[in-house]
Chains A and B, each alone.
Chain A
Amino acid sequence: MISRFLKSREALLAGAIVLLTILIAIRFPAFVSAANLVRVFNDTSILIILALGQMMVILTRCIDLSMAANLALSGMVVAMLNAAMPGIPVPALIALAIAVGAILGAFNGIFVWKLNIPPIVVTLGTLTIFRGLVFVLSGGAWVNAHQMSDAFKAFPRAVFFGLPVLSWVAIFIVVLMTVLIGRTALGRAFYAVGGNPTAAVYTGIDVGRTRFVAFTLAGALAGLSGYLWISRYAVAYVDIAGGFELDIIAACVIGGISIAGGIGSVGGAVLGALFFGVIKNALPVVNISPFWQLAISGAAIILAVAFNARAERRRGRIILRQSEAAS
């Protein structure tokens, strides 16, 4: 068991993160103080939640480029509602954000499932649609800190047992996903659908429906992140989390989740996100130029893909036609 873990990609990645942290600590010792590590984890929380959502989608051999735009739209909805009616309790707003996100995710899912459009095309389209809707909804105006109620802003910051709620939410989602992916029929169906859609059809799994569910769940997590993001930075505007969709996918790829579908783990996605979080948080304190940050992230992605390609088992010959998977 232990020796198998040591050979796994997750162990390698965990080692890489530790090494990176040590290198940073040499230049800036305070980086490894407990308080700071808590801060880094807290800062990465939203990326972890989103990476886990993206992971479900990638497992089913799809991709969701619209998550950051979904986050911006769900966040804007609750921010505007909070500004207009401060009386609505925060839990209700969080539930609303998750619901809005899930609906947007389901929208992606329907296109992929019922119309058989390639996911990359669908989500590229909805990315733009969602961003456009943020514009339409807000009229281009910002929702600012003083317009949000105190309770709305305080929730992710409240500290329990030394960790802010934001971090606890991420931990809760990690636990939830571990159970979902490892202990439910649906979770195993994600692997089956991505690993071999044709075989999945013959075992009675509805490929399209499974993908639809993956998109919807990813959307729900994006909606949750929308509230967390807006309340944490205490501002909502159109460009919130612009370009973040690529960070999410990169975190998944670094975490060893195969773009070809069917391979990946919750631990991998979390570690991939943490790798990013460490780089992003170290950059301001060690005076590396932003170019090098990009170069390091890029190199990590290429390395991760190279390792994954080596580790992926050889596929058998496809005897059954691909078209049967689409039925």
Chain B
Amino acid sequence: MRVLVVEDDRETAQFLQKSLKENGHTADLAADGEAGLALATDGAYDVLIVDRMLPRLDGLSVIKSLRAQGNRTPVLILSALGEVDDRVKGLRAGGDDYLTKPYAYSELLARVEALGRRTAPEEQQTRIAVGDLVLDRLSHRVTRGGEHILLQPREYRLLEYLMQHAGQVVTRTMLLEHVWDYHFDPQTNVIDVHVSRLRAKIDKNFDKPLLHTVRGAGYTIRDGPA
């Protein structure tokens, strides 16, 4: 993916550029809002990473200008302001996702990849398959190897989100935000327990595990090794 990083802290920007390259992406840098807006307007990027507090033109103004031009490139906002109000303002300005500083790089990467490969709602499949695991979004029926798996509603939504992002790392925070719509710290490993219960249902009686834990990052569902 081609990523544009609009970040005024040189050290952070270079760290992100280097890390994204290590993960197989290309990353351009812009050190202020005006330069970021010019690059985002001219270049064809898959994802924009925009810091909120930028010199010359703040991050939210950059996003608003882009959206006003009709530019729909997914944007991940980075900010030290992490309260609910701040998130709401960021998402209302046209941001697609919001990450509070300080963040773990694995969290940022997972979110960038989720944004980059996100499918438009009209293109959403009614049937998602990962290996022999099939989820039918019309009948809410899940089968593996043709065998019906009975899931609780929340387990179904958890699996649906994981399968929508098959092959990608999905963090615990992403699951909490997208499956439960919670933006608070659950304090304990509640997500891990939910995932392990889901794993018991979809992997336990099968030879090949599909739901993998990515240490220090989160989870991924894929037909193959983690």
A joins B in a complex: no
Task: Please list the residues of chain A having a beta carbon within 8 angstroms of any beta carbon in chain B.
Answer: none
Task: Please list the residues of chain B having a beta carbon within 8 angstroms of any beta carbon in chain A.
Answer: none
